[in-house]
Amino acid sequence: MSNEFLDAVKKRRSIYAISKEEILSDEKLEALIGEAVLHTPSSFNSQSARVILLLNEQHNKLWDLTQETLKKIVPADSFEPTAQKMAAFRSGYGTVLFFEDQSVVQGLQEQFPLYQENFPLWSLHSTGMLQHVIWTALATEGYGASLQHYNPLIDEQVAKEWNAPFSWKLIAQMPFGKATMPAGEKTFQPLDDRLKVFK
């Protein structure tokens, strides 16, 4: 079975060995991320996703900031693995910050009270789809990436440093760069346990 879309999906893996070597120009990266933001679906076409793309020194600054935050809570005698992780993320070319605009979510809750409990969950569905779209798009261009969640520990510093509005809730961070090592072998649970078909 040949399917270009599924072939691209299969390329998307968690890759931690990344470098600062340029693949696309910053302008093309911005266009790639922009297309993903525009065309990823959202409930009620709410378009609640918000993204900040950090490149070059701004990318480095994020992981410096994250490391300093973690130093305050991780015991010094066991900090080395954390420092190595931060160095690995910092070694990449950029980071995509994913947010969901809570003012949009709350507006939908007010407008459609019958579904008000669902909108926060549907917002997370939307950001999950956007993360996957961007991750896959990066992979097709030769980038390695991984998805990180240092929120809420860094929320306040991120908002202050990059002028994120108060209503933007940080969801995830995606460091990326040119893949310097392939992903490890992926194992799969039996498909019969995960897919049921009735005819």
Q: Give the CATH number of the domain where residue 65 resides.
A: 3.40.109.10
Residue 199 lies in a domain: no
- The pLDDT value recorded for residue 2 is 65
pTM of the model: 0.96
Residue 122 lies in a domain: yes
Q: Specify which residues 169 forms β-bridges with.
A: 100
Q: Tell me what the mean pLDDT of segment 68-76 comes to.
A: 96
Residue 37 lies in a domain: yes
Q: How far apart are CA 123 and CA 12, in angstroms?
A: 23
Enclosing domain of residue 188? 4-193
Residue 50 lies in a domain: yes
CA distance to 123, 127, 136, 176, per residue, from 28 (Å):
27, 22, 16, 15
Residue 25 lies in a domain: yes
pLDDT in tens, 41-66: 999 999 999 999 999 999 999 999 99
pLDDT in tens, 27-47: 999 999 999 999 999 999 999
Q: How far apart are CA 169 and CA 146, in angstroms?
A: 20
Is the pLDDT assigned to residue 1 strictly greater than 80?
no
- The pLDDT value recorded for residue 30 is 98
**In the chain, pLDDT over 70 holds for what percent of residues?**
99
Q: How far apart are CA 62 and CA 43, in angstroms?
A: 30
In terms of DSSP H, where are the helices of the chain?
A: 4-11, 26-39, 57-71, 80-90, 102-111, 119-140, 155-161
**In the chain, pLDDT over 90 holds for what percent of residues?**
97
Identify whether the C-beta of residue 48 lies closer than 8 Å to the C-beta of residue 40.
Answer: no
pLDDT in tens, 92-136: 999 999 999 999 999 999 999 999 999 999 999 999 999 999 999
Residue 110 lies in a domain: yes
Residue 198 lies in a domain: no
Residue 87 lies in a domain: yes
CA nearest neighbour of 5 among 118, 151, 187, 133 = 133
Structural domain count, the chain:
1
Q: Which residues contact 59 (CB under 8 A, 6 or more apart)?
A: 90, 92, 93, 94, 95, 175
pLDDT in tens, 149-184: 999 999 999 999 999 999 999 999 999 999 999 998
